[in-house]
Amino acid sequence: MNHPSPTILVVNAGSSSVKVSVYTVPEAAHGDGDVNPELSAHGQIEGIGVAPRLTVHMADGRPVADERFPLAQVADHDAAFRLIRLVLSIGLRDNPPVAIGHRVVHGGADFTEAVRIDDEVLAKLEALVPLAPLHQPHNLTAIRAVREAAPELLQVACFDTAFHAGHDVMAQLLGLPYRYFEQGIRRYGFHGLSYEYIARRLRQVAPDLAEGRVVVAHLGNGASLCALRDGRSIDSTMGLTALDGMPMGTRCGAVDPGAVLWLAQQGMRADEIQAMLYQESGLKGLSGVSSDMRVLQASAEPRARLAIDFYAYRAAQEVGKLAVTLGGLDALVFTAGIGANSPEVRARICAHLTGLFGIELDPGANDDNRQRITHDGSRIPVLVLPTDEEGIVALSTARLMREAMAQKAAA
């Protein structure tokens, strides 16, 4: 009898959305060779707790479902996840998933690669919630919902911090008393799944550059930059939490800690300050208009312009900082929602870098979001590469699934 290829699910639970992707894992061509999961369908619920909308489509873009739900029906992440599972279980009845991979934002000092989830792992991830209050609780909600419904199912956690685990101590230190470093209060870095994907992709599209000193700018709702040398992360702009570095959609980026002290001295509580730094700052707080770059670009409000100017200025500064870490720069790569789709933001950032790095944008290529957006004569090439964080989660999950199957067979 012919068995269908195993199916795995990838879950990406964000602050107001839950995304679930279905992958099939074909048999490796040579026994224990590398796995290449293939995306077959994708479902997501956006607007949780505000205006829930479920969409499901096949990998080729064919729509399967598009439905809006009353708020009460999808009031939280737990309900959203249950609903997606229900919809997918109909389509996957004949080939239920054998493993689920989760994007988990913080792995702390303990987790430097993807792991199978058990009680001990879950407890350690729970302890990291204060360091990623906007994301970690939702990641863990999805894990718990699966454990409840299918306790035997293999679950894998893939961390946004893990790709940065090899950073030198210089890239990890904060200027606080050393005892805090020993307690894990150090710079970790995030968006690691995205950077891992870009490092792989760069090896495919520009192997010569991939060996060199590359800065990747992941500019989405969250935003950070990463210094890669020979495809490995050397440093990144985010730190202990996903607040550090450049300003983002609603997060502040680096601020003088004195400003946070001042807020506390004005009588703001820690939870109020936290909500402001994570949800009311960055592009949203500066512009007073929106956290969404498309809205800001279309706005005539002077403060929308101010916010974009500051965003580009700070992003460019971070490129310079990471180039110092790398001892030079061989390529700059833009990725994520803004990085891959906004010619205006890329042009503004690159304008700051022309003097120092001799970057010469090709305006036509930039406007078309082409893979290489600099002229041939540009001292440093600039590339645009869409990211695929879920693909990296699928890959790690498929590997651990294979491992688990092999162990079971050997037992």
> Which residues define the annotated binding site for Mg(2+)?
12, 389
Strands 63-68 and 115-116: unpaired
Binding site for ligand AMP (CB under 6 A): 220-221, 249, 292-294, 297, 336-338, 341-342
Residue 372: exposure state from Cβ atoms within 10 A (0-12, 13-18, ≥19): middle
Residue 258 one-letter amino acid:
G
CB 91 within 8 Å of CB 117: no
Residue nearest to ligand AMP (CB): 337
Closest to ligand AMP by CB, 294 or 375: 294
Q: Say whether 160 is catalytic.
A: yes
Q: Which is nearer to ligand AMP, 22 or 384 (CB)?
A: 384
Would you tell me how many other CB atoms lie within 10 Å of the CB of residue 240? 20
Q: Which is nearer to ligand AMP, 27 or 368 (CB)?
A: 368
Query: Which of helix, strand or coil describes residue 122?
Result: helix
Shortest distance in whole angstroms from residue 297 CB to ligand AMP: 6
Is 106 within 8 Å of 95 (Cβ atoms)? no
From CA 171, how far away is CA 148, in angstroms rounded? 39
Smallest gap from Cβ 316 to ligand AMP, in A, equals 17
- Residue 180 CB, nearest approach to ligand AMP (Å): 31
Binding residues for substrate: 103
**Number of Cβ within a 10 Å radius of residue 7:** 20
DSSP annotation of 72: G
Q: Which of 137, 406, 141, 392 is nearest to 274 (CA)?
A: 137
Structure tokens at 310: 């500051």
Nearer to ligand AMP, 17 or 274 (CB): 17
Which residue among 60, 118, 160, 256 is the active-site one?
Answer: 160
* CB 298, min distance to ligand AMP, A: 9
* Residues identified as active-site: 160
